[in-house]
Amino acid sequence: METKEIFKNATNQFEHGDYKECLSKFELLALRISATTAQGHLTEKHEELSVNRLRYLLVLYLLPDSLYKSSFVDVDTRRINLDKCVSLYRQYIETLDTIGIEVDYDTSSTTTDPSLQRDLKIKQFKQQKNLHAQVLEYKELLSDDKSGIFDTIFISLNGSGDEDQDDDDDDDDILREYILRLLQYLASQAHSQVHSIEQELALLNNIPKEVKDSRTRNTTEATSSDSTWRLDTPIDPANLLDKHGRPTRPFTIMPRGTQTTRQQIAAGVFQPGHRLPTMTIDEYLQDEQERGNIIEGGGPASENQPTSKEQLQLDTENDGTVFAEEAQEKQRQDQENWARYTEEVEKGSGNKMANVG
């Protein structure tokens, strides 16, 4: 299968959320891009690169993003994949910087002041919102359908059907600008993902290592491990009474010749010596979420998000877009409704304290 067909299939699977299916394809494409880069094809600036070469730079973002969004089996695998994602995200950002595509993304602030952190979050959100709006504007110029932002990169305005002619796409200025805006937007997303991954890694590193399988332990290890959680003092099971005739532990006096009853009582007291199956924290949370027992929202994540009025004000600042006009109209209606309410409802006409006494 040709490289472009592999890229198309992989992006289509990515758009539909089949991250595990497209991951191997993006890894293959990344190897081919690395071989091309080793030959010196990325020593130029982005103005000198063809549209086709710019298009394949998106693989450097889609590969770690697919890996980050893929499910995992255990914590160790997740930790390894997250470390790999951070390295690949940073490689993508460095590649864009090499060809002259920069994104002004403030990651230097380490303040612990909640108000300053909130201002930084709002600034980053506005920047990503602006870049995303630019991507959608160029996407509308290229196509009117509802395809994803990655499917649009394969549109050729000059009508050339030869996939091997890289320079044929150089005349598609709109497509070039669209890909450049998309690369910038994904760079800002990569910065955010790196920040989120670093926080997740900090949590994963605090998780204690899983206990080894009890079948691989020797008798000494098993005895010391089992005795750590016991409240009673280890006692020799052969000695029920001390030298003064006092019981050293609770016991049941059984009638003579009742071996079956003894075995039944023992079976009801002693538990299996092997460790029973358990589930991970993520599996438990997923099960609880499917049952509807988890309330979403609130907490530090909600605190850092803009309020509805702040979000509406941010949306109105994207001048010249349909989205901004709709936000301005909604803001105007809210102000009119509030003005009408203050005129119709007399101040202080609420509870007159008539129910006191």
Give residue limits of the domains in the chain: 3-202
Report the distance separating Cα 114 and Cα 125, nearest Å: 16
Domain 3-202 has CATH 1.25.40.540: yes
Q: What is the pLDDT along the chain (357 residues), one digit of tens a residue?
A: 688 888 888 888 888 888 888 998 999 988 888 876 655 556 778 888 888 888 889 999 999 999 998 877 678 888 889 999 999 999 999 888 888 887 766 654 556 677 887 888 888 888 888 888 888 888 888 877 777 788 888 876 444 444 444 444 444 788 888 899 999 999 999 988 998 898 888 888 887 765 433 334 454 555 555 555 555 555 565 666 777 767 777 766 666 655 566 676 666 666 566 666 667 778 878 888 888 888 776 667 667 777 777 777 877 777 667 777 888 888 889 889 988 888 888 777 766 665 555
Q: Taking the model in full, what pTM does it have?
A: 0.54
